[in-house]
Structure 1
């Protein structure tokens, strides 16, 4: 059972002292120390308070190594309530997030006034069954899409809907706003693996708990017309298959 290790990790991560947690549980501070050392175990009523305090399930708290594998994904939990902008006819606009506004978006994506201050437009060819947002790319990690390309994404309200091999715009606590090819390993270890189409950039992982928003790429707008002589090409199915094999091998290596 991983209760002692998880409790100490979660308390430290939240910046909570043993005394503060003891006051929540109505016990002496020394009892928290005993819980975290494995010398004693909380009663059921105390466990309920602990799970509420740290936003975890009892199963995760007792049997999942949170420090090593990250938080488990709540299958029913939405990423968040989405803030959208509408026109004077109550139709949803596509809000545009320019590259220079990326840093501000991380703090203002839930603020209606901030969202209204960003550029907005319509694209009649897109399905009306989804909510869309547009993000301006920076960098060359997703060639042949060049810096300045605007990628339009459809909102994904649950991380479990992410399909391996497809491209997504992610708004994350750790990496900011990124556009990557995503591989879903949430069931295995609570993480998403992000891969660039430009082979010069190494893949990396993002914990589910660090994802604020995720948008499935549906279209792009670019003033850079493709050159027939340009050897750059989208990632093929064979490339994707190889990526999956390499990522699985990396997971096995890390577990070993």
Structure 2
């Protein structure tokens, strides 16, 4: 019984990715140090055996793994998947560019629950994928956690998620594929270029835009691109030394005033 031949998507993918960057064959050839004729031949599938350095050059330029360039028809992926892929978040495909989550285990080979203290937040941004760094974090055993999944504890700061008290410790589960999140799922979000985590209600849109909303109505929702997100951890539980309170009366008043101001501004713009 003969083995079914593996289909290769390299030629079509190069043309597709060049189109996403709005580059001509001449421009791509110049960027890679190749001739326009070679780019044309590769995209047409006339070069059956590109040199190994060609695969490396295209992979480095587009920041997508060789395995993905060869095996996956990128033109069939949705915009959110493509933005995640181009941002280095290759969480749904196999390959050299796959995002790796570093974990630590106990003597019984069970995953630890690491705690990321406030003083370690800045270090986490650079060491989150480094097993040696993760091994330095404090570790806890929490009863009744699901046996499947990876959990971590993050300290919350600020009052944007009231009535969850400021300073609570959030137990959260790692989310590998963000597209499965339901709208307004509470999550810890690790953003590129920031020194802090955000704890927000997360909605992942099909166009690759992720909306972040606070429970506290005085804070305005905002959006980020999927490529700006390093990790998402879904809320599981929290611990706090404070007993949750209802919203203070002044907070409610301020929220109503802010909403009224926004309505007046919208009406003014319509005139």
- Report TM bin, short chain: 0.5 to 0.7
Per the TM alignment, residue 202 of structure 1 is displaced from its structure 2 partner at its CA by 1.4
Per the TM alignment, residue 95 of structure 1 is displaced from its structure 2 partner at its CA by 0.3
Question: 2 CA distance for matches of 1:60 and 1:206?
Answer: 24
Question: 2 CA distance for matches of 1:224 and 1:142?
Answer: 14
Tell me the residue number matched to 2:157: 138
Cα RMSD, aligned residues only: 3.6
Matches within 5 A, 1:94-173: 94-173=113-192
1:209 to 227, 232, 235: 227
Are the aligned partners of 2:29 and 2:35 in contact in 1 as well (CA < 8 Å)? no
TM-score (norm 2): 0.63
Over 3 Å counting, the alpha-carbon distance change for 1:27 and 1:76 in structure 2 is same
TM-score (norm 1): 0.67
**Which structure 2 segments of 5+ residues have no match?**
1-14, 249-271
Query: What SS is found at the alignment partner of 2:154?
Result: strand
Question: 2 CA distance for matches of 1:219 and 1:180?
Answer: 14
Tell me the residue number matched to 2:75: 59
Are the aligned partners of 1:137 and 1:151 in contact in 2 as well (CA < 8 Å)? yes
**Which structure 1 segments of 5+ residues have no match?**
10-16, 233-256
Number of residue pairs matched? 207
Question: 1 CA distance for matches of 2:204 and 2:161?
Answer: 19
2:92 to 76, 85, 89: 76
Are the aligned partners of 1:154 and 1:216 in contact in 2 as well (CA < 8 Å)? yes
Are the aligned partners of 1:193 and 1:204 in contact in 2 as well (CA < 8 Å)? yes
Residue 181 in structure 1 maps to residue 210 in structure 2: no
Residue 21 in structure 1 maps to residue 35 in structure 2: no
- For the pair shown, which has the larger CA radius of gyration, 1 or 2? 2
